[in-house]
Every structure is written in structure tokens, then in C-alpha cells.
Structure 1
Amino acid sequence: MTVDISRHHLSAGPDAEQFAERLSAHLAEGIDGLEDSVGGASLVDSHFDTGLLVLRARCVVDPRAATLETWEAAVNAMQLGSALFAVTEASEGSVECRINRKVRTLPAVGSLPTADAGNWLTAFWLAVICRDQRRMTQLCEIPLERLRAPEGQYDEYIYHWVDTLQTYWLRRPGLVEKLTATFQASDPAVARVAPRDLLDGLLYPPINLFYRFVRKDEEGFSPALVEALKLHRTYWTLNEDREADIDGSIALGPLAIACLAYDGKLPIEVESEYLPKHLLQRGWLGEFPT
């Protein structure tokens, strides 16, 4: 039996539609400026943040991702996330990145503090959701040490988690040991940087879902997904400020793991506006080059 997890209230009227349109136009202008100079390309992290905001704004008004504009928003966010790591890989020369339906030549900018493990996870989730295996591979080939942030910015678990995902996708040995290390390091008794509600509500559930996925746990995956979405909703309704924040419109990590499970033929007995149907079921895949 399919379980429906309702999304908390987010206003989806004409104002929300206009907000999404204005954001999209602003992002398109910013993307066009990326090629202008090293200074322009160094703003790719800011445009990545805006791209994520556009995707979430689109999902407020189009929770099933039934329109092309929402798919475009997902693809643009993915492309900007990948571009962040592409332009920071070298300090000279240029790289070609497809963004917003065009192949663009961006100057390399060298190291940026935002090219870290947190943004890597977000970029990887987007590549999974968009089923862009080439970008997934490129992200997974980034050395883990390059993603390390200054001490105290992240708990150590995040590096175990990135290592686990890279190991899974590149089929390297040691997946079980690395996933075990991720579980151990994400225990609230061990983690010290992430607030407990953030860890419980948003950061840990994708790890548990991934465990169910790699075990091909057909009976356990959907209940774990239900739990993840309920925890997501609880986190984003803790207070009025969070409840109004469009960042809670989709559950990005659980959606990405659910996409892996869907493609792996695991039954997904859950429906929710936190998991836009046409992103989960790759309804727009192949609509245009990504």
C-alpha cells in the first residue's frame, strides 16, 4: 500500500509563481556573466546557491515537477554544482561547462572555500536526480582531501559519507567498512558540529536510506523513506521561520537515494510533494542535452 506524506504548507499562489520567475531571470543573467572573466567565474558558488533556490521555488508551485521549467531548474542547479568543482580544479586555463542549454568556456579560478564536502553532497544529489552519470563520475573522482574544510566547519562523518558514495559509484573496494564508519561518525554521541535537530532531521536519514538501498532491502526501504520524509517535515516545521522557508519544499537527499532505488527496481511505496514525481520517475530525462 502506498503511503502519502503530505508536505507542510507553503504558499503556492501567484506571488510564489512570480517569485520563481524573477529568480529564474536573475539566475539566467548571472550564468551569462560567468564567461566574462575569472572574477565572473569565481561567483559560480553564488550562482549555485541561486540555482538551488530557483529549484526549490519551482517545486513550491509545481510540487510534481510536471512542467518543463522545473526540470530546467533542476538541470541548471546540477550544472552549476558541477561547474563549481570544475573551475576550482585548476588555477589557470579554462574549462568547458554546459549550463542553461549552452556550452560555456569558463576560466579556471583555483581553490574556493565553497568547493567543499557539503556542496559536493548537494552537487552529487542533483547529478543523481538528473541521472547524469558522467557528472556523477566526475564528482566521485575528486580526491577527498580536496573537499576538506577548515577544522570545525563539518563533523568528520561527512568525509566518511562522501568517501562511501564515491566508493559505491566507482565500484571501489571497502564499501561496507566505509558505510559502517559513516554510521559510527554520524552518531549524535560522536558528532559535535552539526546541531542535533539538523543531524537527526536532514543529515542522517539519507545515510540510513542508502544502507537500505545497497542491501536491496525491498521491505525496509519504503518505511525508511517514510521516516526520512517525516523527519524532514518535522525539521522544517520546528518554528515559523523554518516553516516559511522554501528550502524545505523538497527533501533533496532522500529524493536522490529514492532515485537510485527507483532505477534499481526497488519498490517505492511512498508519494509526497517532498519527492516530486517526475523527478523521481525521470519523466523529463532526454528532453534536452544536459
Structure 2
Amino acid sequence: MAAQVSTAMMVLAQPSDGPRECPFINSLPLQIPSPLPAEYAHAGHWLDGWKLAAISRQAELLDRLLALRPHIFNQRPIHTPEVTLKWVDLYAAVLAVPDVTRHPAYAWLREYVATCPPQGSHGKAVKYLSGPRLDLLPPLVDRDAIGFEAALDRALEAHKEYWSKTAKRRKDPEGFVALDLTALAALAWDRGLRFQVDSDYLPWSWVTGELFARQSVA
């Protein structure tokens, strides 16, 4: 449902001359009389929708998000950070190109991680979250299950270190599940990589898709 809502907000924020039907919510058509405010079509909602759709194996939503990607850049609020848009580019490329490590967004983000000052909250997030996340992509491209497992284990340890560092972070729901890592692990699993990582931040039934298979049968 969360993936459907994120995608629906993106769809319904696009310009329209009249009512628009959104088919995603529980597969029932939903009539919206006018577009949502343009600010709903922002990169954060796109990234949330991508991660949740990848985890829940909703290919139709991923296709719709890829089609909406150009609107992120055409309608973006002036304050949208460039690094956020690069993540949109990179996650779109993960699905669309054979070797995402050759994509310009990957090179840009690698340089950003390498040169970002480690001081401050943003610098620490880049060090502990963004860098380790990028390390998953080379073994994903190479279909190297052993390398992917090792990179995933390191990324989860970095996630744990970052989100358990202070009392405030420990209470922040954003850190309870490593959604980016779970989404990339789900993609790797669906591409045939077999690995085993034990972490409270990585729901294993989400990685394998077992949870969503049970729900579809029910």
C-alpha cells in the first residue's frame, strides 16, 4: 500500500485538464477531480516509491515511476538538492541499464561521497549510509553473490552504527529498517544472487519476497 500511495501522489501531481483516475490503490480506480499540488511530485516521494515498489515486487509501479522520472526534473522545487536528483537517476538506471556502475550518476555520487566533508549530520549520513550503499552496486552488476553478501553486511553494520549513535537517532523510525539496502538486496535476490545476512535492519522475508508472495496467495 505504501508503494502505491507514493506512486499515486506522483501520478496525481502531474498537470491535467480534468479528473484523473488512479488505478493503484488496492486495484480500485480512484477519481481525483484535480491534480494534487506540484510539490507532491518531488524526488523524495519518487525515491520512497521506488524502494517500496522494489521490495514489494510491484513491477507496474516501478514502470510508472520510471516513466515519471523526467517530471521530477521538469517540475522540481528550487530547493531540491542535486545529490537527491542523482539518486533518482541512479535508481532508475539500476533497472534500465546492464551496468549501472558506468552510468554518470554513479560516478557523480562516488565523487560526492569521496569529497563530502565528514563533519556535521549530512557528512556523517553520506559516510555511513550513502557510501556503503554504493558499494552494493558493483557486485550486483557482476552477479557476485559472495561480494554482494560482504558489501551488504558492511553496509548494515554502518547503518547500525549511524542510527544507534545517539538517543535521538535510535528513536527515529527512518532508521528502523534499512529500506535502501533492503530494496537493493531484493533486486539482487530476484536476479539470482543467493546470500545470507542476519540483521534486525533487514527483514529477510522482504528480501526474498516471501512475505508478499504469502499476501498475494491470501
Q: Conserved in 2, the CA contact under 8 Å of 1:141 and 1:166? A: no
Deviation at 1:148, TM superposition (A): 3.1
State the distance in 2 between where 1:115 and 1:187 align: 30
Alignment of 1:157 with 2:83, yes or no, is yes
The CA deviation string for residues 58-82 of structure 1, in whole angstroms up to 9 with x for no partner, is xxxxxxxxxxxxxxxxxx1111111
* Structure 1 equivalent of residue 96 of structure 2: 170
Query: Judging changes above 3 Å, is the alpha-carbon distance between structure 1 residues 194 and 281 closer, same or farther for their aligned structure 2 residues?
Result: same
Alignment of 1:97 with 2:23, yes or no, is yes
* Structure 2 equivalent of residue 55 of structure 1: none
State the distance in 2 between where 1:138 and 1:271 align: 32
Deviation at 1:284, TM superposition (A): 3.0
Deviation at 1:114, TM superposition (A): 3.8
Deviation at 1:228, TM superposition (A): 1.1
* Structure 1 equivalent of residue 152 of structure 2: 225
The CA deviation string for residues 175-227 of structure 1, in whole angstroms up to 9 with x for no partner, is 61322223223434389997111212333332221233123232321111111
1:86 to 11, 15, 25: 11
State the distance in 2 between where 1:94 and 1:162 align: 25
Question: Residues 83-162 of structure 1 correspond to what in structure 2 (within 5 A)?
Answer: 83-91=8-16, 92-100=18-26, 102-142=28-68, 143=70, 144-146=72-74, 148-151=76-79, 153-154=80-81, 156-162=82-88
Q: Conserved in 2, the CA contact under 8 Å of 1:117 and 1:149? A: no
Q: State the SS of the aligned residue for 1:95.
A: strand
Structure 1 unmatched runs, 5+: 1-75
Deviation at 1:100, TM superposition (A): 4.6
Q: State the SS of the aligned residue for 2:195.
A: coil
Residue identity opposite 2:41 in structure 1: A
State the distance in 2 between where 1:165 and 1:150 align: 21
Deviation at 1:107, TM superposition (A): 3.5
Structure that is richer in helix per residue = 2
Higher relative contact order (CA 8 A, sep 6+): 1
Query: Judging changes above 3 Å, is the alpha-carbon distance between structure 1 residues 210 and 106 closer, same or farther for their aligned structure 2 residues?
Result: farther
Question: Residues 188-267 of structure 1 correspond to what in structure 2 (within 5 A)?
Answer: 188-189=115-116, 195-267=122-194
State the distance in 2 between where 1:174 and 1:281 align: 22
TM-score when scaled to structure 1? 0.64
Residue identity opposite 1:246 in structure 2: P
Q: Conserved in 1, the CA contact under 8 Å of 2:164 and 2:170? A: yes
TM-score when scaled to structure 2? 0.83
State the distance in 2 between where 1:87 and 1:232 align: 33
The CA deviation string for residues 68-119 of structure 1, in whole angstroms up to 9 with x for no partner, is xxxxxxxx11111111111012243212233256442233425432422222
Residue identity opposite 2:143 in structure 1: K
Q: Conserved in 2, the CA contact under 8 Å of 1:82 and 1:135? A: yes
The CA deviation string for residues 225-274 of structure 1, in whole angstroms up to 9 with x for no partner, is 11111111111112112112232211000000000111112122212221
Q: State the SS of the aligned residue for 1:141.
A: helix
Q: Conserved in 2, the CA contact under 8 Å of 1:255 and 1:280? A: yes
* Structure 2 equivalent of residue 7 of structure 1: none
Query: Aligned residues: percent identity?
Result: 25
State the distance in 2 between where 1:235 and 1:228 align: 10
Q: Conserved in 1, the CA contact under 8 Å of 2:113 and 2:127? A: no
